[in-house]
Structure 1
Amino acid sequence: MNSKERVLRSIRHQEVDRTPSFYLGAPKAKVELCKKLGINNDADEESLLSAFDVDVRYVMPRFLPGGDHFGFSYGSVHAQIHGHADNSSDSCFPLEACKTVDEVRAWNWPSPDWYEYKLPQNKTEVYQEKAIVAYDMGIIFLAAMGLRGIEGIMLDMAGEPEMADAIFAGIAKFNMGRTRQFLESNRGLIDIVGIGDDVAGQNGMLMSVEMWRRFLKPHIMDMVNLCREFNVVPYFHGCGGFRALFPDFIEMGIPCVGRLQTEARGNNFKEIKEEFGKDLCLWGGIDGQHIMIEGRVKDVEEHVAELLKIGAINSGYVAGPTHSFTDDTPAENIIAAYRALSGRTRC
């Protein structure tokens, strides 16, 4: 059973030879891991991913030369946090001053034509063997926060719904165009499309479920239908505690949900597996806030072993971090996690 089969069978809740996995980590974490493992620090991470024997490969369209008109997605302007280039946040918002829907529509929106869509041709074996996920193709609310500011877009949703609709529609149009071109350019190579969004925080949803259904669900459903058109799997991924949306995902035909942040309120892995495990394939689960940073190797091994025990019930689990491993995550703990995933520890 190769990696592609392993992941797709897990999504269908079919028997697999082992729980599949994915990796996401900050650049500095990768540097330390490569040093520890004695492997090349490849730009595409392939040496590291192979060393960890992970089953998923993430791909994205690349900007054409001169195609990045802003420097950052959607034109939001970033500032460094604590002086680190890898740790940044939006600092000003190009649609913040807009007063009318016409101003929003007249803005110089990003174009799908700014990208190179064809995947590199030197990785044919990887595309055939691994589960290929088109990453971050359908982000709407997070992009709107970068354009309007979090206060601005949420006030629009509450009091100026036509403004919110115009902003979300502009983002969704770009997302749909970019995703369609990516799938058309790589027919038969991409297995899964990430259409998630950050609509929740540590303590739960950032908006009511009703507001999510009113403003965001229709655009997500459009992406789901696009996935069906190309026979690829839609996968909703986001941060925080958005368990309240799981029944909607099931109704919409979204079979994958992640990256399940077990540290967030309401995200107890065992409870979610019991309640939704027959309908949803859960991704994530490895605690990146506490155990991976603060724990010992033994704690990490025991944590991963428990996740595998719960996740193995009726299949439907792809193991990996709840968020990208941060720079302060000890390399030995990350290595321990992936050795535990492959069964190479005392657990």
Structure 2
Amino acid sequence: MNKREQLLGVYQHKNIGYVPCFFTDFDFSKPTTINERAEQGGLDWFGVEWEYVPALHSPMVKPGTKRLSDITKWREELVFPDLDAIDWAAAAGEETAKWDRENKISFMMLINGMFERTHALMGFEDAMCAMYDEPEEYQVLVDAITEYKLRVIDIIGTYYKPDVLSFHDDYGTNDSMMMSPELWRKFFKEPLRRVIERTQSYGIFYEHHSCGYIAPIFNELVELGIDAIDPLQISNPVRELKDKYQNRVTFAGGFDTQNVFDKVGVTEEEIRAEVVRAYSELAPGGSFVAFPLTVSFDFVPVFIDEHFKHAFRFGEK
């Protein structure tokens, strides 16, 4: 068994005696060929215009722009990407060439899930209103986006072959869900089940990324069969969820990123204390990956140094 195979035990919900760290034990890829957003600004492959925001180190949909003028006109106005026009074997070969498949977990990110894509296309307010005003049309659009996502996952499974796919669809704010659990069940639960099952059909671990507060639907995410969850921010009852579900779900995250790692003027002592807090609470029993999803990465050298002081000590418990 090589090092990568040992590390993957964490995604099988085992205690491998070590806390895998995203910065040291993973090869990460968000392929530029899968143009879900224009990272430096410009158009994505749906025609949505993005604007780079330096303070966020990330692009956002350009304010005042909309790809769809009306939910009822999406069939006429929306053109899905031509996935057959790309040489995926060549693209994947180039974008995975540096992966160390013997010693590291290969990790791919697929952003703009079904909910995120709808509000990228028409704006957040219009997307939320469409759930109430035109629920049938909204569901048909979600289903069409799901079919497209399944084709992208087929490409990932055939050509990229990562160990883990992190599928992004944010459902929460800091202290509440963006929609009621009932609306999530109505529009997104079954499409998400299809995404999970398709991912796992390729032998890829499915990690669901959803920022914010998602505790009201966490049990249902587990029932859908997710292998892992990130970033599980501390607005959720992280320790309670870990104790309850660690034999079924791997927890990648659980750090106080907003109040510590992303805080302006954060001290080295604060960074180290947060590593110890998170590891001591979440590492015992295994099923834990140190994955602090942040805006800034200035804290990383101190984080890694503290990680190696505790990764085996807490991992053995």
Amino acid of the structure 2 residue aligned with 1:225? E
Deviation at 1:278, TM superposition (A): 2.9
Distance in 2 (CA, whole Å) between partners of 1:325 and 1:240 is: 14
Indicate the SS of the match to 2:208.
strand
Distance change in 2, residues 1:7/1:164 (3 Å): farther
Q: How does 1:39-188 map to 2 (within 5 A)?
A: 54-63=24-33, 71-81=43-53, 86-91=58-63, 92-95=65-68, 97-98=69-70, 100=72, 103-106=73-76, 107-118=78-89, 119-120=92-93, 123=97, 126-136=100-110, 139-186=113-160
Amino acid of the structure 1 residue aligned with 2:75? R
CA RMSD of aligned residues (A): 2.8
Query: What is the aligned counterpart of 2:279 among 297, 304, 308?
Result: 308
Deviation at 1:255, TM superposition (A): 1.9
Deviation at 1:272, TM superposition (A): 2.5
For structure 2, the 5+ residue unaligned runs are: none
Query: What is the aligned counterpart of 1:319 among 290, 295, 308?
Result: 290
268-277 or 116-125, larger mean C-alpha shift: 116-125
Does residue 172 of structure 2 align to residue 223 of structure 1? no
Distance in 2 (CA, whole Å) between partners of 1:295 and 1:85 is: 18
- Show the counterpart of 1:27: none
Deviation at 1:212, TM superposition (A): 0.7
Indicate the SS of the match to 1:201.
coil
Indicate the SS of the match to 2:117.
helix
Normalising by structure 1, we get a TM-score of 0.77
Distance change in 2, residues 1:56/1:128 (3 Å): same
Does residue 258 of structure 2 align to residue 284 of structure 1? no
Amino acid of the structure 2 residue aligned with 1:324? T
Indicate the SS of the match to 2:231.
strand
Indicate the SS of the match to 1:178.
helix
Aligned residues: 300
Q: Contact 1:64–1:115 (CA<8 Å) still a contact in 2?
A: no
Distance in 1 (CA, whole Å) between partners of 2:15 and 2:31 is: 33
Q: Contact 1:199–1:238 (CA<8 Å) still a contact in 2?
A: yes
Distance change in 2, residues 1:171/1:269 (3 Å): same
Distance in 1 (CA, whole Å) between partners of 2:98 and 2:66 is: 40
Deviation at 1:176, TM superposition (A): 1.1
Distance in 2 (CA, whole Å) between partners of 1:220 and 1:145 is: 17
Distance in 1 (CA, whole Å) between partners of 2:128 and 2:230 is: 24
Distance change in 2, residues 1:8/1:215 (3 Å): same
Deviation at 1:140, TM superposition (A): 1.2
Distance in 1 (CA, whole Å) between partners of 2:259 and 2:159 is: 41
Distance in 2 (CA, whole Å) between partners of 1:307 and 1:64 is: 33
Deviation at 1:152, TM superposition (A): 0.8
Query: What is the aligned counterpart of 1:273 among 213, 236, 242?
Result: 242
Indicate the SS of the match to 2:290.
strand
Distance in 1 (CA, whole Å) between partners of 2:258 and 2:57 is: 21
Deviation at 1:6, TM superposition (A): 4.2
Distance change in 2, residues 1:257/1:84 (3 Å): closer
- Show the counterpart of 1:31: none
Distance change in 2, residues 1:56/1:176 (3 Å): same
Distance change in 2, residues 1:16/1:85 (3 Å): closer
Amino acid of the structure 2 residue aligned with 1:55? D
Deviation at 1:257, TM superposition (A): 0.6
Deviation at 1:271, TM superposition (A): 2.5
Distance change in 2, residues 1:117/1:236 (3 Å): same
Distance in 1 (CA, whole Å) between partners of 2:287 and 2:16 is: 10
- Show the counterpart of 2:13: 13
Amino acid of the structure 1 residue aligned with 2:278? L
Distance in 1 (CA, whole Å) between partners of 2:284 and 2:61 is: 39
- Show the counterpart of 1:336: 302
Distance in 1 (CA, whole Å) between partners of 2:53 and 2:98 is: 39
Deviation at 1:86, TM superposition (A): 4.3
Kindly provide the CA deviation profile for residues 144-174 of structure 1, in whole angstroms up to 9, marking residues without a partner as x: 1110111111111122112211321232122
Indicate the SS of the match to 1:78.
strand
Amino acid of the structure 1 residue aligned with 2:158? E
